[in-house]
């Protein structure tokens, strides 16, 4: 219960309390907590400098005890009428604030952990081989991305120029990507870093990771398919990665934790989560193109959990830093309307989607707006929202 007048289905009740960074007319960036249609100015409400830095990093670095302490205080403030007089002056209408990138992103890693997504791409691109590569069920495949081009939801998606070459062409050409796509993903934000040389075991996940956001890993498929052999994704991905402005603490997702899919290949001990605390998450994603629902990817079916991704990232001794972001990889389910990218939804561009207005789509056109939203079971019995990540495609600059 809360003394706030919240819509029943707001998704931002007292059991969520996501952290973000906002500014008002003053232009000053500070930490806020989304509650109902409001944002609680945490810097003003607490008087603590750690919430006035303009990013979440300083608070995230303080670790799980500080995160839990703040959450307990916030819960008391927002549920006990006795605190109303003190808290209410620091609530601002969310519609009147500007949201910013919540975290200064340190290192960015992107995985490839949805079996249905990996199999779909395998069937399209390697029709004569097994859909999954031989390593897929033994380790969570990933690559290091470009942290500096991770931006907040709403950042324009400028169509990238680049080299592309189809198998039918003799030589590459240069120009705007003609196969601009999305990847619907869930991202995890590291709060507490780790020592170089010391791996983080599966059980250390919640000691290091603060929370969860939504990620759209915009992808230029034509640039990607020409450049990726043999070292992996590069310019086809690095032009922009969008994240949602609200970071939902792991503590808000306790009721969303589920066992990941059954493992049918024995795992090496550092990845074996048979007897570990489960870190699958029942996060339901929705993908909208120009306002129309086109897909509902189920994150709970993703094969590799974020705890396994973190254990794998550090098993060679690589250290973590506050602000590290790692994303799940495109989330796709087994059904056609659960695919988390247009290359899958249109099956490589061969089966265009028909939209409600009668137009069709394979890949994105200039002016298209893609919005990802997601929700998960909350600890109060309803559903909590992970907010949204949105972007509008703008024309490429003249090459």
Taking alpha carbons only, the member of 91, 203, 102 closest to residue 154 is 102
Alpha helices, DSSP H, located in the chain = 42-46, 57-60, 64-79, 84-87, 115-125, 205-208, 221-227, 235-238, 306-314, 342-345
CB of 232 to Ca ion, least distance (A): 11
Q: Residue 4 or residue 345: which is nearer to Ca ion going by CB?
A: 345
User: Is residue 117 flagged as an active site residue?
Assistant: yes
Taking alpha carbons only, the member of 324, 327, 280, 284 closest to residue 186 is 327
CB of 329 to Ca ion, least distance (A): 5
The Cα 301–Cα 333 span in angstroms is: 7
What is the distance, to the nearest Å, from the Cα of residue 45 to the centroid of all Cα atoms in its chain?
28
CB of 142 to Ca ion, least distance (A): 9
Q: Please report, as ranges, the residues that interact with Ca ion according to CB under 5 A.
A: 110, 183, 217
> DSSP letter at 82?
G
CB of 209 to Ca ion, least distance (A): 19
Pairing of strands 383-394, 157-158: parallel
For residue 15, the number of C-alpha atoms closer than 13 Å in the C-beta half-sphere is 20
CB of 182 to Ca ion, least distance (A): 10
Q: Residue 12 or residue 304: which is nearer to Ca ion going by CB?
A: 304
Q: Residue 20 or residue 187: which is nearer to Ca ion going by CB?
A: 187
Is 94:34 a contact under the CB 8 Å cutoff?
yes
Q: Report the residue closest to Ca ion, judged by CB.
A: 217
Q: Residue 59 or residue 226: which is nearer to Ca ion going by CB?
A: 226
Which residue out of 51, 117, 208, 312 is catalytically annotated?
117
CB of 386 to Ca ion, least distance (A): 17
By three-state DSSP, how is residue 108 classified? Answer: strand
> DSSP letter at 319?
P
Q: Residue 55 or residue 115: which is nearer to Ca ion going by CB?
A: 115
Taking alpha carbons only, the member of 182, 167, 163, 331 closest to residue 234 is 163
Q: Residue 161 or residue 328: which is nearer to Ca ion going by CB?
A: 328
Is 364:208 a contact under the CB 8 Å cutoff?
no
Q: How far is CA 125 from CA 164, 254, 341, 350, in A?
A: 16, 38, 15, 13
Catalogue the active-site residues. 117
């Amino acid at each position: 219960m809360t003394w706030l007048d919240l819509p029943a289905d707001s998704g931002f009740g007292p059991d969520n309390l996501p952290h973000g960074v906002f500014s008002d007319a003053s232009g000053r960036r500070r930490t806020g907590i989304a509650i109902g249609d409001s944002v609680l100015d945490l810097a003003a409400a607490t008087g603590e400098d750690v919430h006035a830095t303009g990013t979440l990093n300083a608070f995230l670095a303080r670790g799980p005890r500080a995160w839990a302490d703040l959450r307990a205080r916030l819960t008391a403030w927002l549920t006990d009428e006795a605190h109303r007089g003190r808290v209410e002056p620091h609530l601002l209408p969310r519609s009147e604030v500007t949201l910013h990138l919540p975290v200064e992103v340190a290192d960015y890693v992107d995985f490839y952990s949805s079996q249905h997504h990996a199999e779909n791409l395998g069937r399209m691109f390697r029709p004569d081989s097994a859909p999954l590569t031989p390593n897929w069920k033994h380790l969570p495949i990933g690559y290091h991305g470009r942290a500096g081009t991770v931006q907040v939801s709403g950042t324009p998606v400028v169509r990238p120029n680049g080299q592309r070459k189809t198998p039918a062409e003799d030589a590459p050409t240069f120009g705007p990507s003609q196969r601009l796509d999305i990847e619907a993903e869930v991202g995890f934000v590291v709060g507490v870093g780790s020592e170089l040389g010391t791996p983080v075991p599966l059980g250390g996940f919640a000691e290091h990771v603060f929370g969860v956001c939504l990620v759209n890993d915009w992808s230029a498929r034509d640039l990607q398919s020409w450049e990726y052999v043999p070292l992996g994704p590069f310019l086809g991905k690095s032009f922009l990665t969008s994240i949602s402005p609200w970071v939902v603490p792991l503590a808000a997702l306790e009721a969303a934790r589920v066992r990941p899919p059954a493992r049918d290949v024995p795992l090496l001990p550092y990845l074996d989560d048979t007897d570990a605390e489960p870190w699958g998450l029942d996060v339901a994603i929705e993908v909208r193109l120009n306002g129309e629902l086109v897909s509902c990817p189920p994150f709970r079916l993703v094969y590799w959990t974020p705890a396994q991704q973190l254990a794998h990232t550090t098993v060679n001794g690589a250290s973590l830093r506050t602000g590290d972001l790692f994303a799940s990889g495109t989330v796709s389910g087994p059904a056609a309307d659960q695919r988390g990218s247009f290359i899958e939804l249109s099956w490589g561009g061969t089966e265009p989607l028909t939209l409600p207005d009668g137009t069709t789509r394979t890949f994105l056109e200039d002016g298209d707006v893609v919005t990802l939203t997601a929700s998960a079971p909350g600890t109060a019995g309803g559903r909590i929202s992970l907010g949204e990540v949105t972007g509008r495609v703008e024309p490429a600059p003249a090459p």
